[in-house]
């Protein structure tokens, strides 16, 4: 990591005469954690370098240390759902972004996830969402996991968004999802079952908040 940082900083310095403001800021703010080269991220994601720079500035603004822990993530996320309790959903979302599974999200992790969710193919988005739902990461979504996630989504949306829901565990909803998804009725949903079910039922995708509200 240190070598990468050194290289990036040196590259920035060498560009001195034509050095633009963003590079300047980037170097100045690299205090605790420095992102790998933006060129590398540009190659790994579906964002342009300009977009990455904007994202990076936003990220640094919210998280000056350069990494987000779960508490900070929940705090930021809660602002988007003032009428509900987003903490449980944010917890699962955090774990899905935290691909290194070390309790913190670096800018690279954040941007990789965002790239999939915003610019990925339908298949990539569904794979990412499946990973989010597969809480214990055993490759299957079981009914308990789906109940957990659906409940978390309902909590997050809050009673103002879903006035018809009265705080009960949305069991009916989960059962309906499960019957549709578990094609071979073996009690678990595989990635393939998940992808097929989502693609053949647009309503289900929407009601599961796959795209609009996942981020
Ligand atoms: Ca699982
Ligand atoms: Ca199955």
| pLDDT score recorded for residue 33 | 56
- Compute the distance from residue 19 Cα to the ligand 1 centre, in Å: 49
DSSP 8-state symbol, 18: G
- Compute the distance from residue 2 Cα to the ligand 2 centre, in Å: 46
76: pLDDT strictly greater than 90: no
- Compute the distance from residue 185 Cα to the ligand 1 centre, in Å: 16
- Higher pLDDT: 15 or 75? It is 75
CA angle 90, 94, 95 (to 5 degrees): 125
Per DSSP, the residues of 99-133 read TT-SSEEEHHHHHHHHHHHHHS-HHHHHHHHHHHH
| pLDDT score recorded for residue 160 | 58
- pLDDT tens, 107-125? 999 999 999 988 888 899 8
- Compute the distance from residue 175 Cα to the ligand 2 centre, in Å: 14
> H or E segment at 6?
helix 2-14
The number of C-alpha atoms within 13 Å of 89 and in the hemisphere containing its C-beta is 25
> H or E segment at 212?
none
- Higher pLDDT: 82 or 137? It is 137
CA–CA separation, 156 and 80 (whole Å): 9
Ligand nearest the Cα atom of residue 148: 1
**Exposed, middle or buried: residue 98 (CB in 10 Å: 0-12, 13-18, 19+)?**
buried
| Mean pLDDT for the stretch of residues 64-77 | 91
- Compute the distance from residue 3 Cα to the ligand 1 centre, in Å: 38
- Compute the distance from residue 138 Cα to the ligand 1 centre, in Å: 5
127: pLDDT strictly greater than 80: yes
| pLDDT score recorded for residue 167 | 53
10: pLDDT strictly greater than 50: no
- pLDDT tens, 128-152? 999 999 999 999 999 999 999 988 8
Q: Which pTM was predicted?
A: 0.74
Confidence band of 206 (pLDDT split at 50, 70, 90): low
**In a 3-state reduction of DSSP, which class is residue 69?**
strand
176: pLDDT strictly greater than 70: yes
| pLDDT score recorded for residue 148 | 92
CA angle 44, 78, 34 (to 5 degrees): 35
How would you classify the pairing of strands 67-69 and 104-106?
Answer: antiparallel
- pLDDT tens, 14-53? 334 444 544 444 444 444 456 668 889 999 999 999 999 9
- Compute the distance from residue 183 Cα to the ligand 2 centre, in Å: 6
Ligand nearest the Cα atom of residue 141: 1
- Higher pLDDT: 28 or 200? It is 200
């Amino acid at each position: 990591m240190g070598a990468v940082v050194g290289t990036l900083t040196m590259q920035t310095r060498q560009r001195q005469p034509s050095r633009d403001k963003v590079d300047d800021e980037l170097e100045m703010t690299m205090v605790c954690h420095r992102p790998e080269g933006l060129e590398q991220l540009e190659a790994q994601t579906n964002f342009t370098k300009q977009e990455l720079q904007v994202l990076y500035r936003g990220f640094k603004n919210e998280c000056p240390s350069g990494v987000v822990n779960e508490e900070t993530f929940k705090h930021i996320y809660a602002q988007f759902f003032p009428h509900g309790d987003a903490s449980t959903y944010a917890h699962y979302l955090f774990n899905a972004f935290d691909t290194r599974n070390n309790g913190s999200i670096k800018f690279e992790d954040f941007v990789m996830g965002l790239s999939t969710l915003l610019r990925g193919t339908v298949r990539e988005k569904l794979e990412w969402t499946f990973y989010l739902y597969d809480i214990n990461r055993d490759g299957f979504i079981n009914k308990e996991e789906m109940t957990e996630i659906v409940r978390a989504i309902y909590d997050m949306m809050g009673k103002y968004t879903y006035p018809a829901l009265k705080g009960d565990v949305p069991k009916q909803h989960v059962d309906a999802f499960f019957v549709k998804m578990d094609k071979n009725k073996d009690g678990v949903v595989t990635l393939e079952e998940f992808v097929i079910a989502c693609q053949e039922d647009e309503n289900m995708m929407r009601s599961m908040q796959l795209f609009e509200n996942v981020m």
